[in-house]
Chain A
Amino acid sequence: MQHKLLDLVEKASLREDALKFEVGDTVDVHCRILEGDKERIQIFNGVVIAKRGSGTREMFTVRRIVAGEGVERSFPINSPKIAKLVVKRHGRVRRAKLYYLRGRTGKSVRLAERRARKDEVEATEKS
């Protein structure tokens, strides 16, 4: 169990709108990027292959194929630099870490689609 004072410190750094997604989901991550003094949004699209950690240290990894080359990017879930996260598609997966996708190319990378659960449907309708 974590110390209550640590929880208190972390609570202040957690984002208010908790991101809702699961491993296997195809997502659009809207990142804030600073260019000089201008801010713009960059979208990173891909499949969530892992979530790890807890509290403010929780991270998730998104994998996509760019020009035939696999690209992975890890984000802190609570980073203020993530402006928005949109779930595009739910994948049917049977494990928590989809590292087996790394060895695959072409058609075998695809994940079977899963019907959205009730709470997930409500969440998308809201946003």
Chain B
Amino acid sequence: MPVGLLGRKVGMTQVFDEGGQAVPVTVIETGPCVVTQVRTKDRDGYEAVQLGFADKPRRLATRPERGHVADLGGKRQRSRQAAGVEAAVKADCEPKRLYHEFRTDGEEHGLAVGQELTVAHFDGVAFVDVIGTTKGRGFAGAMKRHNFSGQGAAHGTKKVHRKVGSIGSSADPSRVFPGLKMAGRYGHVQRTVRYLKVYRIDAENGIMLVKGAIPGPNGGYVTVRRTNKNRFKQQQAAQTKKK
């Protein structure tokens, strides 16, 4: 999987395309991300690139968090160095609020610790997937959570307008089947929206515009990656054929 980027959802708006049509777009503040660690087969058993996004004030970061991104020169480390143990390479940046690893098994990614990735990383990418955490809706009823129809507003309906209704048969089976859709916690789960068209990339301001909606509230953290949907591969193949 090619390395994606971390970002923050700014919000939705609409812009006009060349034909004068209004296009609904989501603005994503994408990057800059810092490569904080490169995992290798030899040392970690798998290959991946770890990115960090959004600075965390040093006073809020724990010592391990600070030590992850910069050389703190602690006593133990000094003694280890004296013993000839090679220290891990650090990005030498501020502690980050958000980290994410992108698996790069068997790929040439050419990234080194400390390198900064901006939205320009997505230049030429036509479609992306956006991974985010949906808005938490708390304990929600069956109508909101499972799109149930509820019951009538009139015709003698009494105090049950938004209720589930029947949840099963009577004496046979004498129980409620597991997994039945009912009211409960709704939202605040990870969701991926795939194959979103990249409408514009604004490297100057570090933002990208994608057509359509993405999960989460404004200001929520998201992960953006090249789409892994097959249609993309097909289009790519078609384009290379044309060339």
| A80 interfacial contact with B, CB 8 Å | yes
Q: Write out the residue numbers on chain A whose beta carbons fall within 8 Å of the beta carbon of B16.
A: 13, 56, 76, 78-80
State which size class the interface on B falls in: 10 to 19
Task: Report the Cα distance A57→B20, complex, angstroms.
Answer: 13
Binds B, one of A1-9, A62-70, A85-93, A97-105: A1-9
Residue in A5, A56, A76 with the greatest tally of chain B CB atoms within 10 Å: A5
- Given A32-B20, A76-B22, check contact A5 B15 (CB 8 Å): no
Chain A residues touching B, majority SS: helix
Taking beta carbons and an 8 Å cutoff, which residues of A are in contact with B? 2-3, 5-6, 8-10, 12-13, 32, 55-57, 76, 78-81
The 8 closest A-B pairs by CB, nearest first: A81-B20, A13-B15, A80-B20, A5-B10, A6-B11, A3-B10, A13-B16, A56-B14
Taking beta carbons and an 8 Å cutoff, which residues of B are in contact with A? 10-11, 13-16, 20, 22, 25, 27, 29, 202, 205, 207, 209, 218
**15 more A-B residue pairs beyond the given contacts A5-B10, A9-B207, A79-B22, with a C-beta to C-beta distance below 8 A:** A2-B11, A3-B11, A5-B27, A6-B10, A8-B205, A8-B207, A9-B13, A9-B27, A56-B16, A76-B22, A78-B16, A79-B16, A80-B16, A80-B20, A81-B20
User: Could you list 28 examples of A-B contacts with CB < 8 Å?
Assistant: A3-B10, A3-B11, A3-B218, A5-B27, A5-B29, A5-B205, A6-B10, A6-B13, A6-B27, A9-B27, A9-B202, A9-B207, A10-B13, A10-B15, A13-B14, A13-B15, A55-B13, A56-B15, A56-B16, A56-B22, A57-B13, A76-B22, A78-B16, A79-B16, A79-B22, A80-B16, A80-B20, A81-B20
